[in-house]
Structure 1
Amino acid sequence: MYELQIALRHISARKRLTFFAIFAVALAIGVIVVLMSMMSGFTEELVTTTVENSPHIVVSPMEDDQEYIHFYNHFSEQLRNKEGVLAVSPVFSGQVALQYKDNAEGVDLFGIDPEAENAVVNIEDDIVSGRLFELSRTNNGIVLGDNLAEDLDVVVGDSVDAVIPTAGSRSFRVVGIFNSGTPADENTAYARFDTVRDLFGESGVASRINVRVQDPYQAEMIAQSVESETGLDAVSWIEANSEILELLNTQQVFVWIFYGLIYMIAGFGVANTLITVVMDKKKEIGMLMAMGTSKKHITAIFLLESLILGTIGVLVGCVLGYAGIILLSSYEIDLPSEMYFGLTTLPLKVDLANFVYAIVFSFLINIIAAVYPARRAARLDPVEAIESE
């Protein structure tokens, strides 16, 4: 295949231009792979954190004027028997002021069954001091977010007072501290379901029912089914976080535009190399055409050159991208963990699909970049090309 031999000879004749063309493609591939891996990792980490640290579905009263769910045990049992539901946890919640010595903070106090709530949102995995299940053994235990505990200056074993202006106060002993890496660490506390309900002077009701489903991405469909069957309001995590998910989708569009610009820059590097070869090899191209080489074969020579440059650039770029991912994934973020949802390292995800997208897109850009110089070479007049030097 003489086209390939000629293409290789053209590439090797201009070593410096060839190097910069390959480097441009490799750098584009490396940068894109790292950025795509960072975007994939951050999106996955955000979704995972949202899914793991919050109920997949929150069931609450449908009417705005109804503050509580009556007959919550009946609805809880109905939800447990629903296909696709893994766990159900009734919750009683209210706002209180927690006091310790001279410190006071307003918090959202959630009354829970520790085992049921842990099955829904995995609180125990976030416990950094004490134990969540200690709540089951005492009716005055409380679990605090780590930032809240720090603001109150308390540790496990200390006693805090929960104050409600309309219902008096009650003393609680801190039995656990959790760190979820979310804003909940600043204003959330857990106590036993019956204890919190008694504190607010209520009985036989729940504020909401938290639900965990087998497939989080089916939560919206299950929530709609729950609403139609129970007459209660059911909000899935997808609906609750719709603005964040929509923002991620919008961001993806701008990111892909950015990717395209980087690839275009790399493509100009390849095109510049091929145009230079055309200008430099006019006489040789003219002689080939005079010897009977068709325009189709002349075009094929330059397309092959682009393919070779692109292939080498892609291989080098994939190595650079993978090395960059490994290097950056170990980089420690010198910022408060809550700013990155509890992350302490850059959330890069090594995904084969990111490499495939980068490779395919790069080859397309390289082929497009080769079209103009290839057609320009094929349109040369043999006589003028031979006499050009």
Structure 2
Amino acid sequence: MASRFLREGRMQSLFIMLGVAIGVAVIVFMSALMQGLQTNLVKRVLTAQPHIQLLPPKEQVRILHGQDAALRVDQVQAPLQRLKSIDQWQAVLHLLRALPEVRVASPAVSGSTFIQRGAASRALSLTAVDLALYQSIVNLSEKLVAGQARLQASDILIGTELAAELGVGVGDKLLVQSATGASRHFTIVGILDFGNKVANQRTGFVSLHSGQSLLGYPGGVTSIDITVHDVYAAQEVAQRIQAHTGLQADSWIQTNAQFFSAIRSQSMANTAIRFFVGLSVAFGIASVLVVSVVQRAKEIGILRAMGISRAQVMRIFLLQGGLLGLGGAVIGCALGILALQLWLQMVQTAEGTPMFAVAIDLTMLFQALALATLTGLLSAWAPAVRAARLDPVVAIRG
């Protein structure tokens, strides 16, 4: 009965189904596009930094009130924050690797140095790492433009801008001097491009043992870099780690607060778009079914007189709403996928590749189908109740 009513008003059914299809296509296209864009942006940010970085706790002033009870807290000067090693970092590293949320934990030593090549000298932010572990956090092999990703005792990796300023290449030697006065010659084994000019000018990597001796941290580390399985849960994991270890835990969400706020704004905008599109689809289905109730009042009256219950009448119109939503959603999913393929073909980089990867998520398609069908059922509720409440005698008389 529901399908017959839809066939009899085929033009109305066709137009509302097309409206549903366009709405679902917009939802599928925008959701996939936003998800691909966010994934690409987050990947670009996290390829150059860990998800969480553990640092020694900041030094605090301890006020002895017994010596000067009149001393005001706002008159106390904050102490100078000195670089220091993490206390018992091996035990902390063992604790981190036992956490189920943590994927990789890698110790590191960092500090400011001067790099010399003949009469030229440049400031260098030197990081000493265990390359086998650090590659799982920041893949330096993907950033190589020359040489190889290798860190033996006398090897160093530097950025492209620094190499250009010093006029050096793979195989050349550099003298690196730390703030402690220690110095050491390193051989350039690779040149990296971080996609950032400042980082390419100021960043260098050496092996962990070489950095410990050069920077004055024998056997110690100044930070522990961590990656987690769920990047969006990094802040919660960092808070738990800080509570357990007493160390300062900075997550990428905290250090990139403005970027994360922009990501959340995009998600909220996408949700708002889906809500208003779904609302317009619901009103469209409801308006068509209201007209259908008015047009078929006599038929409904005859059916009621023949013994069909009010619940059966309601089910007829609820089925119409569900069928309109489901049929439009199937067409809309196909249109959304087609629009994504066309967009990927039209919007490309200079090399002829897509600007960023966009994946078709089957879960999202099933959610769109379910949402459209549920919207159809809900929007058909009011017309179905109206049809069920029609008095058979009044309906037949017209």
Indicate the TM-score class for this superposition, using the shorter chain for normalisation.
0.7 to 0.9
Structure-2 change in CA distance of 1:334 and 1:291 (3 Å): same
TM-score when scaled to structure 1? Answer: 0.74
Please, which moves more after superposition, 267-276 or 17-26?
A: 267-276
For the 8 Å contact 2:110–2:125, the answer to whether it is kept is no
Q: 2:141 corresponds to which letter in structure 1?
A: E
For the 8 Å contact 2:157–2:192, the answer to whether it is kept is no
Please, which moves more after superposition, 299-308 or 228-237?
A: 228-237
Q: Distance in 1 between matches of 2:252 and 2:285?
A: 47
For the 8 Å contact 2:154–2:210, the answer to whether it is kept is no
For the 8 Å contact 1:92–1:111, the answer to whether it is kept is yes
Name the structure 2 match of 1:339. Answer: none
1:25-80 deviations in Å (ceiling 9; x for gaps)? 1222222122222333344444455555422432223125343224x5x7342234
Match of 2:268 among 243, 253, 257: 253
Q: 2:94 corresponds to which letter in structure 1?
A: N
Q: Distance in 1 between matches of 2:342 and 2:117?
A: 46
- 1:316 paired to 2:331: yes
Aligned-pair RMSD on alpha carbons? 4.3
Name the structure 1 match of 2:138. Answer: 121
Structure-2 change in CA distance of 1:98 and 1:13 (3 Å): farther
Structure-2 change in CA distance of 1:236 and 1:368 (3 Å): same
For the 8 Å contact 1:109–1:190, the answer to whether it is kept is yes
Structure-2 change in CA distance of 1:56 and 1:99 (3 Å): same
Name the structure 2 match of 1:359. Answer: 369
Aligned pairs, number: 370
For the 8 Å contact 2:21–2:333, the answer to whether it is kept is yes
Q: Distance in 2 between matches of 1:20 and 1:153?
A: 68
- 1:23 paired to 2:15: no
Q: For structure 2, which runs of at least 5 residues remain unmatched after alignment?
A: 60-79
Q: Distance in 2 between matches of 1:98 and 1:363?
A: 69
TM-score when scaled to structure 2? Answer: 0.73
1:359-378 deviations in Å (ceiling 9; x for gaps)? 22212221222123223333
Secondary structure class of the residue paired with 2:141: helix
Give the deviation of 1:304 after TM superposition: 1.7
For the 8 Å contact 1:127–1:178, the answer to whether it is kept is yes
Name the structure 2 match of 1:8. Answer: 3
Q: Distance in 1 between matches of 2:279 and 2:390?
A: 26
Name the structure 2 match of 1:340. Answer: none
Please, which moves more after superposition, 164-173 or 293-302?
A: 164-173
Q: 2:109 corresponds to which letter in structure 1?
A: V
Match of 1:34 among 10, 29, 33: 29
Q: 1:93 corresponds to which letter in structure 2?
A: G
Give the deviation of 1:261 after TM superposition: 0.5
- 1:136 paired to 2:152: yes
Secondary structure class of the residue paired with 1:35: helix
Name the structure 1 match of 2:90. Answer: 77
For the 8 Å contact 1:285–1:382, the answer to whether it is kept is yes
Q: Distance in 1 between matches of 2:240 and 2:331?
A: 51
Name the structure 1 match of 2:322. Answer: 307
Structure-2 change in CA distance of 1:245 and 1:191 (3 Å): closer
Give the deviation of 1:21 after TM superposition: 0.9
Match of 2:110 among 88, 92, 95: 92
Name the structure 2 match of 1:297. Answer: 312
Name the structure 2 match of 1:176. Answer: 190
Q: Distance in 2 between matches of 1:63 and 1:13?
A: 76
Q: Percent of aligned positions with the same letter in both sequences?
A: 26
Structure-2 change in CA distance of 1:368 and 1:150 (3 Å): farther
Q: Distance in 2 between matches of 1:303 and 1:221?
A: 44
Q: For structure 1, which runs of at least 5 residues remain unmatched after alignment?
A: 337-342
Give the deviation of 1:22 after TM superposition: 0.9
Structure-2 change in CA distance of 1:376 and 1:247 (3 Å): same
For the 8 Å contact 1:62–1:232, the answer to whether it is kept is yes
Q: Distance in 2 between matches of 1:167 and 1:16?
A: 85
- 1:61 paired to 2:56: yes
Give the deviation of 1:212 after TM superposition: 3.2
Please, which moves more after superposition, 10-19 or 220-229?
A: 220-229
Q: 1:366 corresponds to which letter in structure 2?
A: G
Q: Distance in 1 between matches of 2:382 and 2:244?
A: 64
Q: Distance in 2 between matches of 1:12 and 1:209?
A: 69
Structure-2 change in CA distance of 1:276 and 1:100 (3 Å): farther
- 1:350 paired to 2:345: no
Match of 2:296 among 260, 281, 292: 281
Please, which moves more after superposition, 83-92 or 93-102?
A: 93-102
Name the structure 1 match of 2:218. Answer: 204
Secondary structure class of the residue paired with 2:135: helix
Please, which moves more after superposition, 240-249 or 304-313?
A: 240-249
Secondary structure class of the residue paired with 1:264: helix
Q: Distance in 2 between matches of 1:234 and 1:387?
A: 77
Structure-2 change in CA distance of 1:68 and 1:266 (3 Å): same
Higher helix share: 1
Give the deviation of 1:136 after TM superposition: 2.0
Name the structure 1 match of 2:67. Answer: none
Q: 2:203 corresponds to which letter in structure 1?
A: A
